[in-house]
Structure 1
Amino acid sequence: MRTIHRILLFTCLYFPYLFAASKVAYASNDDHVKVGSYHCPPFVIESETDVPSGLSIYLWEQIAVELGVKYKISHHELGELLDQVSTKALNIGVSCISITPEREEILDFSHSFYETHLAIAVKQQGYLSSIKNIFTNKKLWFVLSFAFITAGFVGGIYYLLEHRVNDKLYSMRSKKSQLVEGFILGLLFITKGPFNYYEFKTLTGRVLTVLLAIFTTFFIASITAILASTFTLGLLNSDIKGPNDLAKLRVGAKAESTSSLFLTSHSIVHQSFESTNDLLEALNNEQVEAIVADDAVLKYLIKKAKELGNYESLSVLPYQFEKQNYGLVLENNSPHREKLNRALLKIRQSPGWRQTLNKYFADK
Structure 2
Amino acid sequence: MKDPDGDWSGLAIDLWRRIAAERGYDYRFVESDLSGMIDGVADGRYDASVGALTITSGRETKVDFTHPFYPTGFGIAVHKSPRTWLSLMRNFFTIDFLKAVLALCALLLIVGFLFWLVERRHNPEEFGEGAEGIGSGFWFSAVTMTTVGYGDKAPRTPAGKAIALVWMFAAILIISTFTGMIASSLTAGRLSGAVTGPDDLPGVNVGSIRHSATDEWLTGEGIGFTGYPDVAAGLAALSAGKIDAFVYDEPLLRYMVRKGDDEELGMLPGTFGRQDYGIALRQGSALREPVDISLLAQVEGPEWRDEIRKTLGKRN
TM-score (normalised: structure 2): 0.84
Count of aligned pairs between the two proteins: 310
CA distance in 2, matches of 1:262, 1:161: 61
CA distance in 1, matches of 2:165, 2:42: 70
Are positions 1:65 and 2:21 aligned together?
Answer: yes
1:229-240 aligned at under 5 Å gives the runs 229-240=184-195
Give the 3-state SS of the residue equivalent to 1:324 in structure 2: strand
Match of 1:356 among 294, 307, 310: 307
Give the 3-state SS of the residue equivalent to 1:97 in structure 2: coil
Change (3 A) 1:56 1:206: farther
What corresponds to 2:59 in structure 1? Answer: 103
What corresponds to 2:219 in structure 1? Answer: 264
1:29-48 aligned at under 5 Å gives the runs 45-48=1-4
> Could you say what the CA RMSD is over the residues aligned between the two structures, in angstroms?
3.1
Name which structure has the greater RCO, CA cutoff 8 Å, separation 6+: 2
1:246-257 aligned at under 5 Å gives the runs 246-257=201-212
Between structure 1 and structure 2, the one with the greater Rg is 1
Give the 3-state SS of the residue equivalent to 2:73 in structure 1: strand
1:54-133 aligned at under 5 Å gives the runs 54-126=10-82, 127=84, 130-131=87-88, 133=90
Change (3 A) 1:322 1:191: farther
What corresponds to 1:277 in structure 2? Answer: 232
CA distance in 1, matches of 2:205, 2:62: 33
Cα deviation 1:303-337 (Å, max 9, x = unaligned): 211xxxx2121122235321222122222233332
- Maintained 8 Å contact 2:50/2:280: yes
Residue 134 (structure 1) shift:
2.1
- Maintained 8 Å contact 1:242/1:319: no
What corresponds to 2:266 in structure 1? Answer: 315
- Maintained 8 Å contact 1:118/1:259: yes
- Maintained 8 Å contact 1:108/1:332: yes
CA distance in 1, matches of 2:70, 2:155: 61
CA distance in 2, matches of 1:104, 1:218: 55
Match of 1:151 among 108, 111, 128: 108
Match of 2:197 among 226, 242, 252: 242
Give the letter for the 1:281 counterpart: A
- Maintained 8 Å contact 1:125/1:236: yes
- Maintained 8 Å contact 2:127/2:137: no
- Maintained 8 Å contact 1:117/1:321: yes
- Maintained 8 Å contact 2:78/2:195: no
- Maintained 8 Å contact 1:130/1:236: no
- Maintained 8 Å contact 2:81/2:192: yes
Residue 361 (structure 1) shift:
2.9
% identical equivalent positions: 28
- Maintained 8 Å contact 2:88/2:186: no
Give the letter for the 1:361 counterpart: L
